[in-house]
Chains A and B, each alone.
Chain A
Amino acid sequence: MAANLQAEKRIRQRYRREQRFKALCIGAITLAILFIFVFFADIIQRGYTAFYQAQIQVEVTYDERSLEIPAAAVSEEVRPLVSRGFLRQVPGHVQSDPDLKGRTVTRWVTADTGVNQYLKDAHTGLSPQEKATVDKLHEAGRIEFAFNTNFFTRGDSKMPEMAGIKSAVVGTILTLAVTMAVAFPLGLMSAVYLEEFATDNRFTRFIEVNINNLAAVPSILYGLLGLAIFINFLGVPRSSALAGGLTLALMTLPIIIISTRAALRAVPDSIREGAFGVGASRLQMVTHHVLPLSLPGILTGSIIGMAQAMGETAPLLLVGMMAFIPSAPDGVTEPATVLPAQIFTWASMPQRAFDELTAAGILVLLAVLLTLNATAVLLRKRFERRW
């Protein structure tokens, strides 16, 4: 009986220990979820306001005077309320449409950031008199909120109401295009060689170890390397998508090689043996059997590598991609910036209005990253194969 009681006690203790451990694990997960939730809530709460912005209906006079001094195009009363960015465009309007000359047109124009901030209940630099005018116009329906198209169609600007993310997005696309164009084939070829062709000797093992180490090298070092090789030695234009893309390619290469090798290794040897057994050459074995089977895995790894490259800022700082780029680049050799760099730039701007732009930029970056990762997961799920 005593032994029985002791055994029972032991069992109860074991159960308690298990329960405690389980509770600890659940606690860890809850904490992680909480962090993510707080982070997302904070960013969304701070960023969503950037997607709409105040517009003001004003009469724009296109006369000789306003062509010389664009500020004269609108009445003095609303002049401080209209974005200076708009006023600068007034001569341009006439140039593109000569009919406008000498006419007065009533139109909705982007309001100054001060109006925006005031209406969004944030700190504003408007004088009490200007605030009164805004209130009056707002009640009269001449100031309204509308979707912030500038954010998606314009490049960077010193004026928050005119600043957009387009040049950064285009820059990112160009940079990543260069990165993938270089890193994917190089990485794939290297991995296929190492995994399927190379004999296992000291030299290949040395290369393997080094590739694994490269994946762990801090990314800023790749920036230094890119600066030294691509810009100073090869003469690639500074702060261009080409320079940034090549630098990121250097950084992504080990990741792609490692994930590709893992995907290749996941193809069972029985498939290789089967192919060799019916007399396939090594190249046929690789191209007919192993690559098609491992492609989903390879793509998944590459997409994850790409997502990582996309979120990278440090190496790009060194190749000059932290530049102020008001208009989207037309080619890979033109100065460009990328999303995270743009976010960083905005975050360091003194004006309060850039706060919400920063958050909005983060939201866009997150959306793109999540889409990429979801694609990777989908690919993996879709083509997951069991042997």
Chain B
Amino acid sequence: MQMPQPNDNPGDPEGVVARSSMGAAELREGSDTVEGEDRPQSTPAPGVTRAPEVGGGSEAAEPTHPTKVDVRGLSLWYGDTQALFDVSLRIPEKDVTALIGPSGCGKSTFLRCINRMNDLISAVTIRGQLLLDEADVYGSEVDVVQLRSRVGMVFQQPNPFPKSIYENVAYAPRIHGLAKKGAEMDELVETSLRKAGLWKEVSDRLSMPGTALSGGQQQRLCIARAIAVNPDVILMDEPASALDPVATATIEELIDELRSNYTIIIVTHNMQQAARVARYTAFFHLGEVIEFDDTDTIFTNPSQKRTEDYITGRFG
């Protein structure tokens, strides 16, 4: 029997609201100390200023994550075609943020802006700011190679190098001069493979070619390869779309383990996957960020109609 007894409940919503607005204030303060009050208001993304704690039970005790990647009014053109329109997002540190949206909505393009993979394509024009730890990724003094050692990437199709498993993991540390050959490198390879949850499966066959592994293992090898240089951010471009459900579950479990140490940004077509792994979700449509919010909110009560239409399967 539910009697209407407002304000009598210990877990009443007023308390939640108060907590949440406090967190929001902190978040705003944290980034404003550096960049001032010129945040573009172009996107209707309520989650931008929202505290991550909202709706979180036990997680509410954790401190608010500062912003890791701060995107301000980012626009991108492929030649004459505009692919991103004034995207603004604040991606919090050390948690999982999912980017969802229909094909060609710009989510992968956006992801590739973060480690400047779009530089590889000629005739790309980028306007706006993309700050990683408050430093502009597109600044003139930024070395792309250095940037990519801080922002690792995992691709849709598992793409281990056609070399041995060991070589796959050791390659990046070697070219960045992070470990010396021999015991030091062996250790780094082992830790990386352990972090990627692959060590037990491959420890006795490190000289086997990485391409001989199963799809899921290959993808975990790619994750090991990415974390071997200990990046701050890991970008994942549909990391499980080529895998079967079991391998997908393993990757998702791995993402869950990595979330406390890395800022993970994952593009996915699979909305259930976004719902499972991500704490925050941004919905892209036609090159714009339509909505950015807690994953819970996006999937139960999105504030934008286009988000709702997309996640409920009403497009087309």
B-binding residues in A (CB < 8 A): 199-201, 268, 270-281, 284, 288-289, 293, 385, 387
Contacts and interface: CB of A to CB of B under 8 A. Distances in A.
A268 to B, nearest CB: 8
B162 interface: yes
A284 B161 CA distance: 13
Given A270-B157, A278-B171, A279-B176, A385 B162 contact: yes
Contact of B161 (A201, A275, A276, A279): A275
B300 interface: no
Interface stretch (B133-141, B221-229, B244-252): B221-229
Contact of B155 (A273, A279, A289): A273
B160 interface: yes
Nearest to B159: A270
A270 B225 CA distance: 14
Given A199-B122, A273-B117, A279 B159 contact: no
Given A280-B145, A280-B175, A274 B222 contact: yes
A277 B161 contact: no
Contacts of B120: 272-273, 276
Interface stretch (B40-48, B146-154, B264-272): B146-154
Contacts of B88: none
A272 B161 CA distance: 9
B115 interface: yes
Contacts, number: 68
Contacts of B152: 277-278
Contact of B148 (A271, A272, A278, A385): A278
Contacts of B115: 277
B172 interface: yes
A385 B161 CA distance: 12
A277 B155 contact: yes
B225 A278 contact: yes
Contacts of A289: 161
Nearest to B176: A279
B243 to A, nearest CB: 15
A274 B160 contact: yes
B159 A278 contact: no
Q: Which 4 A-B residue pairs are closest in the complex by CB-CB distance?
A: A270-B159, A278-B172, A279-B148, A277-B153
Contacts of B149: 278-279
Contacts of B147: 279
14 contacts: A199-B122, A272-B120, A273-B117, A273-B155, A274-B225, A277-B152, A277-B154, A278-B175, A278-B228, A279-B145, A279-B149, A293-B162, A385-B162, A387-B211
Given A270-B159, A293-B162, A279 B117 contact: no
Nearest to B225: A278
B175 A274 contact: no
A288 B161 CA distance: 10
Contacts of A199: 122-123
A273 B162 CA distance: 13
A116 B7 CA distance: 123
Given A274-B161, A278-B172, A385-B162, 13 more contacts: A200-B123, A272-B120, A273-B153, A273-B155, A273-B159, A278-B148, A278-B153, A278-B171, A278-B228, A280-B145, A281-B145, A284-B175, A288-B175
B281 to A, nearest CB: 24
Nearest to A275: B161
B159 A271 contact: yes
A271 B161 contact: yes
Contacts of A284: 175
A319 B171 CA distance: 50
Contact of A278 (B122, B157, B162, B226): B226
Interface centre among A199, A272, A275, A277 (most CB of B within 10 A): A277
Contacts of B146: 279
Contacts of A276: 117, 120, 148
B153 to A, nearest CB: 4
B235 to A, nearest CB: 8
Contacts of B148: 276-279
A101 to B, nearest CB: 71
A58 B155 CA distance: 83
A277 B176 contact: no
Q: Of residues B117, B147, B175, B211, which shows the largest number of chain A Cβ atoms within 10 Å of its Cβ?
A: B175
Nearest to A267: B162
Interface string B171-183: 1100110000000
A165 B171 CA distance: 52
Contacts of B153: 273, 277-278
